[in-house]
Amino acid sequence: MNRKTFIKNSLGGIVLTGAAFSPVITVAQTLQEPEPLDLKLVKDFVVAGHKNLPLVKEMLQEYPNLIYARYDWGNSDFEEAIEGAGHLGNKEIANYLISQGARVNLFVLTMLGKTDLVIPTLEAYPELVFAKGPHGFTLLHHANVGEANDVIDYLKEKGLTETHIKIK
């Protein structure tokens, strides 16, 4: 085979090979992971979740997946916007976020006074009575800020007296 034939065949093979793989490349490009949300944006949303419902609504309008975002305050002290509402007792923001599909947890349910959900869960998993929420706030703290008297009494009966436990 002479040089000219070799180059012609080689280029033809590359073009054909490229054509054969182009659907694979296109599929692979569409399967790439999306870019993470900006860390400052996530932090701002979590902070807003504590007490600023208009800002929460505005930010969710523009970035709907913020509802799932968590911010790490350090030492694996992760917090979602709904958890900020939970430990401040902000039922309006917590209920709004739930209505938008936020992932609710036992601490928020405790703050909301959802006795019919909290107590059976704690009966099934009694060790959770002493669980630490964001920033080390306990279920008793959440029950207190939510004025969930039935849950407060239950937690105290189970031996929980602390409202905050340091996160190691």
Give how many domains the chain has, as a whole number.
2
28 and 55 belong to one structural domain = no
H/E stretch holding 11 reads helix 3-30
The parent domain of residue 69 ranges over 39-157
| 142 neighbors 129 (Cβ within 8 angstroms) | no
Does one domain contain both 17 and 57?
A: no
Task: Give domain status of residue 117, yes or no.
Answer: yes
Say how far apart CA 30 and CA 50 lie, in whole Å: 36
Q: How far apart are CA 95 and CA 12, in angstroms?
A: 63
Residue 166 lies in a domain: no
pLDDT, tens only, 76-131: 999 999 999 999 999 999 999 999 999 999 999 999 999 999 999 999 999 999 99
pLDDT of residue 78: 97
The model's pTM: 0.80
The 10s digit of each residue's pLDDT in 50-80 is 999 999 999 999 999 999 999 999 999 999 9
Asked if 20 and 43 sit in the same domain, the reply is no
Nearest to 83 by CA among 46, 54, 56, 55: 46
Q: Domain check: are 25 and 44 in the same one?
A: no
